């Protein structure tokens, strides 16, 4: 597929994150489609999978504007274009014009104008750069409309139309081609596992043929936080369950989902599903990654087309179960801790309780952020936004909300259970020279495991 990128403002796929200040406006295009065809494809693939729920959402909006007050982009900029429902305006319009129960009248009377390519290009920024699909807006809507879900659907259309921010597209494409968004091959994964096994003196089972638990990682961890692999191994070893990593199915992230390509999303999910089935796993344990949880826990079975023959858990749920059932024990940690909830695991995924259970077992002085948990402010890097360099400036702006929320707790340590949040925190920390370093809840558990579990 050929790609048209604005050469005056080239994307920064390969460059260092902090080296160049990117211009704010740059519309990216993939493929050689005519403008008309792009518009047609965007709309067709948006409405293709409509059901009662999504149709009622687009029909039911009251234009009350309350979603703006829940969105970090609007709250920090007060720019009305960041109003969540406005981000799907073009698609809402097309729905009413082409699909809705009164589409005929809308067309006949010319009430809804046809969407243009210029508009779609403008909306690329609203659908990708300035939406982390965090779903906070979905909780304020008096009609109960899941705006974030609509943004994901609009992304399906944008992908088919070749209108995805170039860095995100490249990352998703690399994931589809190599199996990892950061290009981590099975050999490299194995190499890094061996390194971590040596460094941390821990047994890391790999490619075991039959095991009860299949553990998977995110490329971000493998590449940037490799100690996560050792921590995972320590915890899983301590439970006494038979488990393994596999080189034929290790990547938990799903950039197909983030970019809006459902085929790639399915491919990534099926790789893990097939591996889990092959080894007879009873459980697939997902790493500290927010969107991986959404992709596999709530969408995996639907990609598979039937119920999965194994359970799917986020590592925090797995650890919480093991602690609650007394299968592992941890030493008390004499620290105050603030916890950042990954949106896709907590607010949208329903696993808000697990990290709190773990923190209780660790005996820390847990400082819940004001409006933490399900109402948490997003780190600003979810939904693929952290990959989009032109969105950096805006991402830093919204991160201020998060900084305030964390600082208010005055906690000693800041933890989360999502490597993507962690990377976004690390980057913002560097940008602001902030004194909080994001840590991993799982790593705290691994570092404080009681040797004797009896």
Partner 1 sequence: MDLLELARGPVLQAAAYILVGGTIWRIVGILLLKEKPDYSEPRASGGLGAALKVIWTRAFTAEPFKSATLYPKMMAYVMHIGLFATIFLFTPHIVFFEGWTGFDWPGLPNNVIFFIGVATIVSGVALIVRRLTSPVLKLISNFDDYFSWLVTMLPLVTGLLIPVRMGIRYETLLAVHILSVALLLIWLPFGKLGHTFLVFITRGTTGMVFERRGAKT
Residue numbers at the binding site for partner 1 (CB under 8 A):
49-53, 55-57, 59-66, 68-70, 74, 78, 80-81, 83, 85-86, 89, 100-102, 105, 111, 138-146, 297-302, 304-308, 311-312, 346-352, 371, 374-375
Min dist CB 172 to partner 1, Å, is 23
Residue 25 or 143: the one with the smaller Cβ distance to partner 1 is: 143
What torsion do the CA atoms of 363, 369, 370, 373 make, to the nearest 10 degrees? Answer: -90
Of 340, 319, 352, 301, nearest to 429 by C-alpha is 340
Give the nearest distance from C-beta 347 to partner 1 in angstroms. Answer: 5
- To partner 1, the closest distance from the beta carbon of 108 in angstroms equals 13
Q: Smaller CB distance to partner 1: residue 107 or 431?
A: 107
CA distances from 410 to 194, 367, 403 (A): 38, 8, 11
Q: Between 230 and 354, whose beta carbon lies closer to partner 1?
A: 354
Q: Which is nearer to partner 1, 174 or 291 (CB)?
A: 291
Query: Three-state SS string across the chain, please?
Result: CCEECCCCCCCCCCCCCCCCCCCCCCCCEECCCCHHHHHHHHHHHHHCCCCHHHHHHHHHCCCCCHHHHHCHHHHHHCCHHHCHHHHHHHHHHHHHHHHCCCHHHHHHCCCCCCCCHHHHHHHHHHHHHCCCCCCHHHHHCCCCCCHHHHHHHHHHHHHHCCCCCHHHHHHHHHHHHHCCCCCCCHHHHHHHHHHHHHHHCCCCCECCCCCCEEECECHHHHHHCCHHHHHHHHHHHHHCCCEEECCCCCECCCHHHHHCCHHHHHHHHHHHHHHHHHCCCCEEEECCCHHHHHHHHHCHHHHHCCCCCCEEEEHHHHHHHHHHCCCCCECCCCCEEEEECCCCCCCCCCCCHHHHHHHHHHCCEECCCCCCHHHCCCCCCCCCHHHCHHHHHHHHHHHHHHHHHHHCCCCCEEEECCHHHHHHHHHHHHHHCCCCCEEEHHHHHHHCECCCCC
Q: Which is nearer to partner 1, 186 or 350 (CB)?
A: 350
Q: Please, what is the minimum distance in Å from the beta carbon of residue 298 to partner 1?
A: 5
Q: Which is nearer to partner 1, 300 or 381 (CB)?
A: 300
Kindly tell me which of 332 and 353 has the beta carbon lying closer to partner 1. Answer: 353
Shortest CB 209 distance to partner 1, Å: 25
Tell me the closest approach of the beta carbon of residue 90 to partner 1, in angstroms. 12
Tokens of 6: 């604005």
With 0-12 / 13-18 / 19 or more C-beta atoms within 10 angstroms meaning exposed / middle / buried, residue 209 is: exposed
Shortest reach from residue 114's CB to partner 1, in Å: 15
Q: Whole-number minimum distance, CB 431 to partner 1, in Å?
A: 26
Beta carbon of residue 89, minimum distance to partner 1 (angstroms, whole number): 7
Give the torsion sign (CA, 161, 163, 164, 170).
positive
| Smallest distance from partner 1 to CB 66, Å | 5
Taking the least distance from each CB to partner 1, the nearer of 52 and 454 is 52
Q: How far is the CB of 370 from partner 1 (least distance, A)?
A: 8
Task: Specify the residue, 96 or 160, whose C-beta has the smaller distance to partner 1.
Answer: 96
Q: Which residues contact residue 104 at a Cβ distance below 8 angstroms, ignoring those fewer than 6 apart? A: none
Whose Cβ is closer to partner 1: residue 351's or residue 386's? 351
User: Given the complex with partner 1, which of 55 and 197 has the nearer CB atom?
Assistant: 55
């Amino acid at each position: 597929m050929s790609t048209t990128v604005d050469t005056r403002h080239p994307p920064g796929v390969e460059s260092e994150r902090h080296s160049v200040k990117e211009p704010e406006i740059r519309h990216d295009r993939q493929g050689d489609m005519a403008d008309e065809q792009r518009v047609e494809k965007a709309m067709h693939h948006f409405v293709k999978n409509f059901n009662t729920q999504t149709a009622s959402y687009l029909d039911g909006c009251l234009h009350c504007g309350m979603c703006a007050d829940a969105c970090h982009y609007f709250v920090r900029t007060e720019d009305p274009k960041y109003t969540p429902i406005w981000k799907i305006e073009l698609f809402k319009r097309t729905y009413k014009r082409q699909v809705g129960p009164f589409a005929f009248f809308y067309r006949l009377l010319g009430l809804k104008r046809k969407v243009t390519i210029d508009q779609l290009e403008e909306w690329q920024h609203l659908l990708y750069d300035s939406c982390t699909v965090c779903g906070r807006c979905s909780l304020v809507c008096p009609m109960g409309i899941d705006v974030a879900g609509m943004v994901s659907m609009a992304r399906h259309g944008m992908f088919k139309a070749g209108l995805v921010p170039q860095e995100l597209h490249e990352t998703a494409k690399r994931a589809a081609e190599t199996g990892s968004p950061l290009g981590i091959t099975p050999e490299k994964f194995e190499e890094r596992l061996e390194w971590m096994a040596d460094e941390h003196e821990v047994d890391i089972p790999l490619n075991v043929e039959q095991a009860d638990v299949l553990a998977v990682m995110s490329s971000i961890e493998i590449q940037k936080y490799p100690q996560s692999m050792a921590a995972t191994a320590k915890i899983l070893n301590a439970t006494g369950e038979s488990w393994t990593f596999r080189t034929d199915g290790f990547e938990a992230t799903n950039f197909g989902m983030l970019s809006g390509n459902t085929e790639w999303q399915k491919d990534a999910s099926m790789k893990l599903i097939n591996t889990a089935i092959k080894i007879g796993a009873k459980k697939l344990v997902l790493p500290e990654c927010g969107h991986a949880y959404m992709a596999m826990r709530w969408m995996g079975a639907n990609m598979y087309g039937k119920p999965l023959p194994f359970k799917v858990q986020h590592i925090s749920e797995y650890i919480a179960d093991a602690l609650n059932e007394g299968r592992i024990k941890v030493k008390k940690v004499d620290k105050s801790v603030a916890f950042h909830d990954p949106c896709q695991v907590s607010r949208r995924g329903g696993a808000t309780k697990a990290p709190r259970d773990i923190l209780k077992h660790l005996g820390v002085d847990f400082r819940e952020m004001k409006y933490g948990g399900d109402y948490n402010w997003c780190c600003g890097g979810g939904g693929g936004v952290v990959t989009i360099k032109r969105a950096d400036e805006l991402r830093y702006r919204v991160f201020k909300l998060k900084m305030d929320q964390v600082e208010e707790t005055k906690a000693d340590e800041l933890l989360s259970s999502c490597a993507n949040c962690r990377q976004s925190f690390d980057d913002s920390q560097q940008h602001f020279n902030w004194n909080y370093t994001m840590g991993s809840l799982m790593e705290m558990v691994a570092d404080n495991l009681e040797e004797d579990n009896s």
